[in-house]
């Protein structure tokens, strides 16, 4: 028998999937936007064209109660079918398939009409759900089948029933959220009754010629949820009742174990998919933190799963599958699992996009054609802003030279990649290095271009992406004390740091620096060592308790660290919506001291003199690391603009230092390049 790999077609009962890649469900925000379905059709079409065999849409509610938000999309009525047809037709043009995900939010709903198995309030919404009645359960099962039928009429190849991540069906499965005493509560047979009745009703309504995927909650990471045996019991029952594919659900939204963020090791949870696969004959889909071809192949070849689901990696690169098929994986734009432009946007009800690919979900806003006139363009600075501008310019046909004063490209990404848990940032530098070569961009490293050369060369356009400099606050002794270092000296230049440290500034960089200094340099980062990660976050790979949880065993900090801010608000309040809690908890578990409401008096041989809560104190530390934000490095831009008539443009941190985040920098670089 030939070896099965990610490119081998998969036969289902009535149909065939052309390869083993699934684009997993992801809400984009276009579902509710003006003309959103036209944009969504284009977005999905790009991914279908890029070779993925099966796309699962973002979650669509089967009824009003089940909507995540009051204005979330629902598919229940014939007049709603037309817009969905745009999606199915776009995907079918490229011989790919598309399934509609049916998602009932249950107690996760963000509106006052929510229902759940029992009266309860989830920690992630302000609304308390009331207990659903038996009559309403009957009606809800009908609504699921009705939505599946509408999906079939709209041309979908099937549906995915969302049975995980702590949503409605999952809430019935877990004792934590189901205290019913009727036939839908109590023992597991009763708790899984809703899931089975939904599957039966859908199958009865749509017939055999329609894919049913069930997203099975395999690991929940919340106390008092399912046992391993219950997960298997449900998987077997689903198989008997007409499901075609089992997808993996990992972690509830309220769980305090990271399951998709960048500090989660790659393919960290395929061990459970493999265990489930061994118990049933249905094909099983692996998901969560799979972002590269090599892992996907290993998972398939070692029978840990039959298909690979990736959601965010298809935002980062719509052509992932075709590039993989052509052995062109160096040109894959890898998802770095930062969540900054996708999930963080979704949770703020903004249209999703991607930090490394700002065109994602905004495809219709970009020109696809070559520039009308080929221009000579100089880009100064090879950080995220300069790199993205240079590549986009070259792809549009311009002749591009990229200047970088340092010996390597990457700018602030070279700092990020040094942080334990942020190793993925290396991938973006690898991607850009390859793109520079592919697009014949002339790269001049260790090169500080001077104004005379610019005048002589007279490029048509000059783009300044000259980045930022660390801000040094005005504190007595800061310029003279040998105890003071700034974050680049610590993270990039790797200057020696003693065992007792104070960090001034608790923004993104302050947190990153604390994580770096807390880590024992002789140990592997938990993001690269699954066992260390499981220990740190209390994951039980033996699955001996409900929710696969066991007590956490975080490694104590390698140094004694004080993370200081002047604000009195919670530390890390400004960090990403979906990742801030992880950074906070990670440092807290390691014993980092969070000091807020601090004013800085002076630095001398004794250490850092501060005042807080009306008291003065001295932090007797070996080093004080400054992470107090940045200032724009734009003096060269000002000089050239004032002294020449060249067309000058300023982007990235050199433009706005306050928000020197890569998301903004890359977006600005690509958009400027697209306009020239
Ligand atoms: P930042 O977020 O602006 O934080 C700098 C901190 O320094 C402020 O929170 C401020 O806190 C303090 N500060 C500012 N001026 C000061 C002064 N004169 N004296 C003393 N303290 C001062 O800057 P950052 O940490 O360098 O991060 C920059 C950007 O990088 C962020 O906007 C973020 O987008 C990105 N980033 C994000 C992450 C992440 O989300 N994990 C990680 C790395 C970088 P007080 O005023 O309260 O003291
Ligand atoms: Fe991946 Fe970050 Fe892009 Fe989201 S924003 S798809 S996590 S790279």
* Domain covering 376-469+631-675 assigned CATH 3.30.1360.230 in the classification: no
Q: Are strands 10-11 and 16-17 parallel, antiparallel or unpaired?
A: antiparallel
For the ranges 237-251, 377-391, 606-620, 646-660, the lowest mean pLDDT is seen at 646-660
Q: What is the pTM of this model?
A: 0.95
What value does the mean pLDDT take over residues 471-500? 96
Residue 524: name the closest of 532, 536, 513 by CA. 532
Query: Residue 659: pLDDT above 90?
Result: no
What value does the mean pLDDT take over residues 609-635? 95
Residue 114 sits at φ, ψ, to 5 deg, of -70, 150
Query: Residue 657: pLDDT above 90?
Result: no
The CATH number for 472-520+555-628, chosen from 3.20.20.70, 3.50.50.60, 3.40.50.2300, 3.40.190.10, is: 3.50.50.60
How high is the pLDDT of residue 392? 97
In whole angstroms, give the CA distance from residue 481 to residue 623: 9
Atom of ligand 1 nearest to the CA of 474: 18
Helix (H) / strand (E) element for 333: namely none
How do residues 352-391 score in pLDDT, each as one tens digit?
999 999 999 999 998 777 888 999 999 999 999 999 999 9
Which pair of structure tokens corresponds to residue 86? 């745009």
In whole angstroms, give the CA distance from residue 389 to residue 650: 11
Kindly give the distance from the C-alpha atom of residue 266 to the centroid of ligand 2, in angstroms, as a whole number.
14
What value does the mean pLDDT take over residues 384-413? 96
Spell out the domain ranges in the chain.
Answer: 10-338, 376-469+631-675, 472-520+555-628
Nearest CA residue ID for atom 1, ligand 2: 335
Q: To the nearest whole percent, how much of the chain has pLDDT over 70? A: 99
How high is the pLDDT of residue 669? 97
Q: Is the CB of 197 under 6 A from ligand 1?
A: no
What value does the mean pLDDT take over residues 93-101? 98
Other Cβ atoms closer than 10 A to 327: 8
Catalytic residue list contains 44: no
Ligand 1 binding pocket mutation candidate from 509, 610, 624 (most atoms within 8 A of CB): 509
Query: Residue 2: pLDDT above 70?
Result: no
How do residues 543-577 score in pLDDT, each as one tens digit?
999 999 999 999 999 999 999 999 999 999 989 88
Residue 296 sits at φ, ψ, to 5 deg, of -60, -45
Residue 395: name the closest of 649, 650, 674, 49 by CA. 674
Which pair of structure tokens corresponds to residue 79? 């007049």
In whole angstroms, give the CA distance from residue 179 to residue 403: 64
What value does the mean pLDDT take over residues 224-238? 98
Instruction: Check if the beta carbon of residue 306 is closer than 8 Å to that of residue 276.
Output: no
Instruction: Check if the beta carbon of residue 295 is closer than 8 Å to that of residue 319.
Output: no
Q: Is the CB of 576 under 6 A from ligand 1?
A: yes
Out of 108, 156, 167, 487, pick the active-site residue.
167
Domain spanning 10-338 has what CATH number?
3.20.20.70
Atom of ligand 2 nearest to the CA of 353: 5
Nearest CA residue ID for atom 43, ligand 1: 508
At residue 656 the predicted structure's pLDDT band, cuts being 50, 70 and 90, is confident
Going 33 to 35 to 39 to 42, the CA torsion angle's sign is: positive
Alpha carbon 663 to chain centroid, angstroms? 12
How do residues 269-324 score in pLDDT, each as one tens digit?
999 999 999 999 999 999 999 999 999 999 999 999 999 999 999 999 999 999 99
Atom of ligand 2 nearest to the CA of 342: 4
Instruction: Check if the beta carbon of residue 61 is closer than 8 Å to that of residue 73.
Output: yes
Nearest CA residue ID for atom 8, ligand 2: 335
Query: Residue 591: pLDDT above 60?
Result: yes
Nearest CA residue ID for atom 2, ligand 2: 338
For the ranges 450-454, 574-578, 672-676, the lowest mean pLDDT is seen at 574-578
Atom of ligand 1 nearest to the CA of 509: 25
Q: Is the CB of 384 under 6 A from ligand 1?
A: no
The chain-wide mean pLDDT, for the chain, equals 96
At residue 225 the predicted structure's pLDDT band, cuts being 50, 70 and 90, is very high
Q: Answer yes or no: same fold for 376-469+631-675 and 472-520+555-628.
A: no
Ligand 1 binding pocket mutation candidate from 490, 576, 629 (most atoms within 8 A of CB): 629
């Amino acid at each position: 028998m030939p070896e099965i790999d990610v490119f081998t077609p998969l036969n289902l009962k009535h149909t065939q999937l052309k390869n083993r890649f699934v684009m997993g469900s992801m809400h984009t925000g276009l579902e509710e936007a003006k003309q959103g379905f036209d944009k969504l059709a284009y977005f999905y079409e790009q991914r279908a064209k890029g070779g993925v065999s099966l796309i699962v849409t973002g979650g669509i509610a089967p009824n009003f109660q089940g909507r995540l938000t009051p204005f979330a999309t629902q598919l229940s009525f014939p007049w709603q079918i037309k817009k969905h047809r745009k999606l199915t037709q776009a995907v079918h043009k490229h011989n790919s398939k598309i399934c509609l995900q049916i998602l009932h939010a249950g107690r996760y709903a963000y509106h006052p009409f929510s229902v759940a198995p029992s009266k309860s309030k989830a920690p992630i919404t302000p609304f308390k759900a009331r207990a659903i009645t038996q009559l309403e359960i009957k009606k809800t099962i009908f609504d699921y089948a009705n939505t599946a039928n509408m999906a079939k009429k709209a041309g979908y190849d099937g549906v995915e029933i969302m049975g995980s991540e702590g949503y409605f069906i999952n809430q019935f499965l877990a004792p934590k959220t189901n205290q019913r005493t009727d036939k839908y509560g109590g023992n597991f047979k009763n708790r899984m009754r809703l899931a089975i009745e939904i599957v039966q009703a859908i199958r009865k309504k749509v017939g055999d010629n329609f894919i049913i995927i069930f997203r099975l909650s395999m690991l929940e990471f919340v106390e008092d949820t399912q046992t391993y045996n219950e997960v298997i019991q449900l998987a077997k029952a689903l198989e008997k009742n007409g499901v075609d594919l089992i997808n993996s659900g990992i972690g509830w939204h309220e769980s305090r174990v990271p399951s998709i963020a960048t500090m989660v090791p790659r393919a960290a949870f395929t061990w459970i998919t493999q265990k489930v696969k061994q118990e049933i004959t249905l094909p099983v889909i692996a998901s969560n933190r799979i972002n590269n071809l090599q892992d996907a192949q290993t998972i398939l070849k070692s029978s840990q799963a039959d298909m690979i689901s990736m959601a965010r990696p298809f935002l980062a690169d719509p052509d992932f599958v075709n590039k993989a098929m052509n052995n062109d994986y160096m040109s894959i734009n890898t998802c770095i699992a930062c969540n900054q432009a996708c999930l963080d946007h979704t949770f703020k009800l903004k249209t999703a996009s991607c930090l490394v690919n700002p065109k994602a979900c905004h495809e219709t806003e970009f020109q696809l054609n070559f520039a009308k006139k080929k221009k000579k363009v100089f880009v100064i600075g090879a950080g995220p802003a300069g790199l993205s501008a240079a590549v986009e310019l070259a792809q549009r046909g311009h002749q591009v030279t990229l200047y970088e004063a340092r010996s390597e490209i990457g700018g602030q990404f070279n700092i990020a990649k040094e942080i334990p848990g942020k190793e993925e940032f290396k991938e973006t530098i690898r991607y850009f290095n390859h793109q520079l070569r592919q697009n014949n961009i002339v790269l001049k490293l260790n090169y500080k271009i001077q104004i005379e050369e610019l005048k002589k060369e007279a490029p048509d356009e000059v783009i300044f992406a000259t980045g930022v400099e660390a801000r040094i606050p005005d504190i007595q002794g800061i310029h003279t004390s040998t105890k003071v270092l700034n974050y680049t000296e610590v993270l990039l230049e790797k200057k020696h740091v003693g065992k007792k440290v104070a960090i001034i500034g608790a923004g993104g960089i302050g947190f990153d620096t604390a994580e770096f200094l807390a880590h024992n340099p002789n140990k592997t980062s938990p993001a690269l060592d699954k066992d260390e990660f499981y220990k740190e976050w209390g994951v039980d790979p033996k699955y001996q308790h409900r929710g696969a949880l066991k007590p956490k065993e975080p490694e104590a900090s390698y140094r004694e660290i004080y993370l200081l801010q002047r604000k009195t608000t919670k530390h890390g309040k400004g960090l990403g919506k979906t990742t801030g809690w992880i950074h906070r908890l990670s440092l807290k578990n390691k014993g980092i001291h969070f000091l807020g409401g601090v004013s800085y008096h002076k630095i001398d041989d004794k250490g850092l003199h501060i005042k807080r809560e009306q008291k003065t104190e001295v932090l007797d530390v070996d080093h004080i690391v400054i992470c107090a934000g940045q200032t724009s490095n734009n003096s060269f831009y000002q000089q050239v603009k004032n002294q020449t008539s060249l067309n000058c443009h300023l982007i990235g941190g050199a433009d706005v230092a306050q928000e020197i985040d890569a998301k903004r920098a890359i977006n600005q670089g690509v958009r400027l390049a697209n306009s020239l």
